[in-house]
Amino acid sequence: MKYIETAIKCIKDESQALLELIPNLDADFDKAVEIILSCKGKLIVTGVGKSGHIGAKIAATLSSTGTPSFFINPLDAFHGDLGVIQKEDVVLALSNSGQTDELLRFLPYLIEHNIPVIGMSGNPESLLAKFASAHLNSGVSREACPLGLAPTSSTTAALALGDALACALMVARNFKATDFAQYHPGGTLGKRLLTRAKDVMRSDDLPVISPTVKLGEAVIHVSNGRLGLCVAMVDDKVVGIITDGDIRRAMESSQDKFFQLSVGDIMTRTPKMVSPETKITEIEHILHANKIHCVLVVDEEKHLIGVVDSFRTMI
């Protein structure tokens, strides 16, 4: 038996289920976003069973993208955890049927305390949809499960709808990559987005050279500098840069006149320079856009304080 055929069918069915969500999006989606944006407290996500697992993931995604959120099981709420819900909060309740008993018993408390409820279910006629301030329809025509029973397409749809909600909120808040990094400071992405030139630059034994030095001598300086370049300076200010590539091209083009040339004859007089506060992600863009392997780190008066090469951006 080729099990891969079953896998392909499952993925196709779930893909179709996601596409079926699009016609279900209506004014309630915008209303849900507005409710969350106006929330002065927390967004509390709740659900039972598989919906609870999806809800926990949605809460985690929202929290990492600028919406303070956490998940609470409605069963726990009935045993002392209701105190964490305040009048300033908003509740996002998930239930595929919209009729989950444990969840419905939770609603009267929320309604009594005027806490807005955003319902997410596959049944727009359910009690959850009826009593919610806004309802997000996550309905699917069928489950991807071969028996049509196990929550598969329905949970995928709910997860995607939660992601759509998070994305809409990110756009509404103008949430940027730097904001994301602050919520993920320990991860690789966070480090890359927060790291600056001063954190990774080489600042000792910088290969500095005078523009009057002949190329024959410059070869030695470039080799000893271990960066494939030398920085030409006059009166402690950067005036240019010469790389091993510049030297090779000069050697090929000038041939017997090579040793008569000086650094100033072939150096790049407008090297790419950045401040110590420039972020690594911006430096990477400069390197790729200009097809170079390093940038110079300078102060406001163009005094050289460091060099960042492509290897140092790989954090």
Q: What CATH number is attached to the domain comprising 227?
A: 3.10.580.10
Closest CA to 136 of 166, 92, 71: 92
Same domain, 121 and 162: yes
Same domain, 151 and 232: no
Same domain, 88 and 208: no
CATH of the domain at 87: 3.40.50.10490
CB 148 within 8 A of CB 163: no
Same domain, 72 and 146: yes
Range of the domain at 74: 3-175
Bridge partners (DSSP) listed for residue 263 = none
Give the single-character DSSP code of 250. Answer: H
Same domain, 209 and 168: no
Q: Which amino acid is at 231?
A: V
CA distances from 48 to 139, 208, 225, 254 (A): 17, 66, 63, 77
Residue 185 lies in a domain: no
Taking residue 52's Cβ as centre, other Cβ atoms within 10 Å add up to 22
Q: What is the pLDDT of residue 1?
A: 65
Query: What mean pLDDT comes out for the span 78-106?
Result: 83
Residue 181 lies in a domain: no
Up-side HSE of residue 213: CA atoms within 13 Å toward CB? 22
b/e map of 239-248 (b: 16 or more CB within 10 Å)?
bbbbbbebbe
Q: How confident is the model at residue 194 (pLDDT cuts 50, 70, 90)?
A: confident
Q: How confident is the model at residue 128 (pLDDT cuts 50, 70, 90)?
A: very high
Residue 165 lies in a domain: yes
Q: Which of 61-70, 161-170, 195-204, 306-315 has the highest mean pLDDT?
A: 161-170
Q: Which amino acid is at 189?
A: L
Which among 112, 145, 175 is the end of a domain? 175
Same domain, 202 and 286: yes
Same domain, 144 and 284: no
Query: What mean pLDDT comes out for the span 11-34?
Result: 96
Host H or E run for residue 149: none
Q: Which amino acid is at 107?
A: L
Segment 255-278, tens digit of pLDDT: 888 888 999 999 999 999 999 999
Domains: count for the chain: 2
Work out the angle at residue 201's Cα, subtended by the Cα atoms of residues 181 and 292, and round it to the nearest 5 degrees: 90
* Sheet hosting strand 294-298, strand order edge to edge: 273-274, 294-298, 304-309
Question: Do the bridges between strand 117-121 and strand 90-94 make them parallel or antiparallel, or are there none, so unpaired?
Answer: parallel
Same domain, 201 and 276: yes
Segment 215-249, tens digit of pLDDT: 989 999 998 888 889 999 999 899 999 998 899 99
Question: Do the bridges between strand 69-72 and strand 43-47 make them parallel or antiparallel, or are there none, so unpaired?
Answer: parallel
CB 59 within 8 A of CB 71: yes
Residue 124 lies in a domain: yes
Taking residue 255's Cβ as centre, other Cβ atoms within 10 Å add up to 8
Distance CA 4, CA 26 (A): 37
- pLDDT averaged over the chain? 89
Q: Which amino acid is at 194?
A: L
Q: What is the pLDDT of residue 257?
A: 87
Q: What is the pLDDT of residue 133?
A: 96
Does residue 315 have a pLDDT over 60?
A: no
| Backbone dihedral region for residue 183 (phi beyond 0: left; psi -120 to 50: alpha; all else: beta) | alpha
Residue 35 lies in a domain: yes
Token reading at 50 = 């598989």
Residue 189 lies in a domain: no
Q: How confident is the model at residue 161 (pLDDT cuts 50, 70, 90)?
A: very high
Same domain, 59 and 147: yes
Strands, E, within 140-218: which ranges? Answer: 208-209
Which among 114, 144, 175 is the end of a domain? 175
Residue 129 lies in a domain: yes
Same domain, 171 and 202: no
Same domain, 108 and 212: no
Bridge partners (DSSP) listed for residue 208 = 231
CA distances from 19 to 23, 62, 67, 129, 156 (A): 8, 22, 26, 21, 11
Residue 191 lies in a domain: no
Exposed, middle or buried by CB within 10 Å (0-12, 13-18, 19+), for 190?
Answer: middle
Same domain, 265 and 157: no
Place of tokens 């790291």: 195
